[in-house]
């Protein structure tokens, strides 16, 4: 997908209002989407993914970009997403090549920076869970699986799986669940 300037600027503006003005991210996204009804599904997805990921991984992205500016944080996230940064995107921070190099250095950073959590949460996790904290934190940073329930009054489970597979969506029956 080509990165459009208006979408990149919108993502950066929303992130800035969340971080600097302490606005609620969901409300800012909803407002931006209402004000720009011509943005399509991919446009909204690009903006939402950028802003949510920048909010979630702020400390790690700040390390990668060597900057706290939202423009640099967005740039670091886009590099992580595999985009080439356009020449019109300006920010104060490391170059995309340097960000990729620093990605390898991220594993050697403190757990709080590497997992992008506040120091106080890291201290609390260590105090409460001890050695198990690393495994718990790693598990918390994994994307959750999606489970879909099938209304068997409308279709069967195999038909639902077949329909999903026809759209190149990997789907399998969950073993061990109670079937009626």
71-129 confidence digits (pLDDT tens): 999 999 999 999 999 889 889 889 999 999 999 999 999 999 999 999 999 999 999 99
**Residue 132 belongs to a domain:** no
pLDDT of residue 180: 54
Report if residue 124 sits inside a domain. Answer: no
**Does the residue 125 lie in any domain?**
no
Please give the tally of structural domains in the chain: 1
Query: Within a domain: residue 55?
Result: yes
What's the domain range around 50?
Answer: 5-108
The percent of residues in the chain predicted with pLDDT above 70, rounded, is 97
The average pLDDT across 11-23 equals: 95
Contact 136, 129 (CB under 8 A): yes
Residue 78 lies in a domain: yes
Q: Of how many residues is the chain composed?
A: 180
| pTM given for the model | 0.80
**Do the beta carbons of residue 60 and residue 106 sit within 8 Å?**
yes
């Amino acid at each position: 997908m080509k990165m459009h300037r208006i979408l990149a600027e919108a993502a950066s503006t929303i992130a800035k209002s969340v971080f600097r003005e302490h606005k609620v991210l969901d409300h800012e996204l909803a407002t931006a989407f209402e004000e720009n009804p011509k943005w399509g599904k991919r446009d909204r997805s690009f903006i939402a993914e950028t802003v949510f990921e920048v909010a979630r991984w702020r400390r790690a992205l700040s390390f990668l970009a060597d900057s706290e500016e939202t423009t640099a944080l967005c740039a670091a996230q886009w590099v992580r997403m595999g985009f080439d940064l356009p020449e019109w995107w300006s920010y104060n921070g490391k170059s995309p090549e340097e960000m990729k190099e620093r990605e390898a250095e991220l594993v050697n950073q403190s757990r709080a920076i590497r997992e992008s959590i506040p120091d106080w949460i890291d201290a609390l996790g260590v105090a409460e869970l001890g050695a198990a904290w690393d495994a718990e934190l790693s598990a918390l940073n994994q994307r959750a699986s999606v489970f879909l329930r099938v209304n068997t009054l409308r279709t069967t489970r195999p038909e639902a799986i077949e329909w999903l597979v026809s759209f190149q969506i990997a789907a399998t029956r969950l073993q061990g669940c109670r079937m009626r």
